[in-house]
A = this chain, B = another copy of it.
Amino acid sequence: MNDETKKTIYRNMLRIRRFEEQIFEVYTGGLMHGLAHLYIGEEAVAVGVCSALRDDDYITSTHRGHGHCVAKGGNLDQMMAEVLGRVTGYCRGKGGSMHIADMSLGILGANGIVGGGFGIATGAALSAKLRKTDQVAVCFFGDGASNQGVFFEVMNTASIWDLPVVYVCENNQYGEYTATDSVTAGDTIADRAKPFGIPSSTIDGNDVVIVHETAAAAVAGAREGKGPTLIECMTYRHRGHHVGDPGDGYRSEEERQAWQDKDPITTFRARLVDEGIDAEDLDGIDAAVQEEVADAVESAAGAPYPDVEEATHHVFA
């Protein structure tokens, strides 16, 4: 990984972090309607994986989707406008946080159905294979989603048809307020790929380099026709399940602190500095990102809501 790549990765993780912090602000400030699920603490997964993708590769995302969208190249202005329900948003305000999509970047959408991306990503992989485009599809999903039956249905199918799809599990130890262990049998989620003959591994999801390298190998394999893989990334959400949840109570202070100490961004920054990258360069990135995010909020907050007539648009093509 050269310095430029490192900085880009650093920058993208930061963009997610700062964007999400702003989401929390607009929520508490009463600027947004509804809820949003923050990705803070899990940035290394989205960025590690998406930095291994081509622009025309596909991803499917989750209800906790901002990170994936940013990492795949999503525009912060349009994202923030969408979260605020404005007509300048990615979905003209009709989707909101849980449905941000950018078809031009292969972002096939965040999804409000836990496990909703499984079929879509695997179908996109089938499509890529049939159209012979050598595109790859990545399916992000949570530990909770790994208990949905359709996960196994698509793994079986992807395996028999050798589809170019990478399943990326973000195991953040909880599904809502329920600890993963208490509802998820077996040792690892990675094991769930094995009966289908799908290679899998469980990795440190807070180490963006490991994530990147593991994903790059999986993506390259998929592109070469070697079929699907599953990567389980161990990580943690620093915040609550959604912006309205303080995130404590069901999680010990100790546990939360331990993961704070493993923050993917601060640890990566320290490493970059160790590896000789100028701290000032990184500060410069910080400042630029801060500005980019502030601009996004400002432009979004100033944008209009869609006209009421838009309610009936886009039901059908």
Contacts and interface: CB of A to CB of B under 8 A. Distances in A.
B147 A153 contact: yes
A183 interface: yes
Contact of A149 (B153, B187, B198): B153
Interface stretch (A3-11, A189-197, A207-215): A189-197
A22 interface: no
A191 B187 CA distance: 15
A100 to B, nearest CB: 27
Interface in A215-244: none
A149 B150 contact: yes
Nearest to A227: B185
Interface stretch (A154-162, A166-174, A247-255, A268-276): A154-162
A99 to B, nearest CB: 23
Nearest to A160: B185
Size category of the A interface is 20 to 34
- Oligomeric state, in number of copies? 2
Of residues A147, A152, A191, A194, which shows the largest number of chain B Cβ atoms within 10 Å of its Cβ?
A152
Contact of A197 (B150, B182, B186): B186
Interface string A65-87: 00000000000000000000000
Contacts of A28: none
A148 to B, nearest CB: 7
A267 interface: no
Interface in A23-49: none
Contact of A194 (B152, B153, B194, B197): B194
Contacts of A198: 185
A184 interface: yes
Nearest to A159: B185
A224 to B, nearest CB: 19
A151 interface: yes
A160 B147 CA distance: 12
B159 A153 contact: no
A176 B156 CA distance: 18
Contacts of A148: 149, 153
A182 B160 CA distance: 7
A184 B195 CA distance: 10
26 contacts: A147-B153, A147-B156, A148-B149, A148-B153, A149-B149, A149-B150, A149-B152, A149-B153, A152-B152, A156-B183, A159-B185, A160-B182, A160-B183, A160-B185, A185-B195, A185-B197, A185-B198, A186-B194, A186-B196, A186-B197, A187-B197, A188-B195, A191-B194, A191-B195, A192-B195, A195-B195
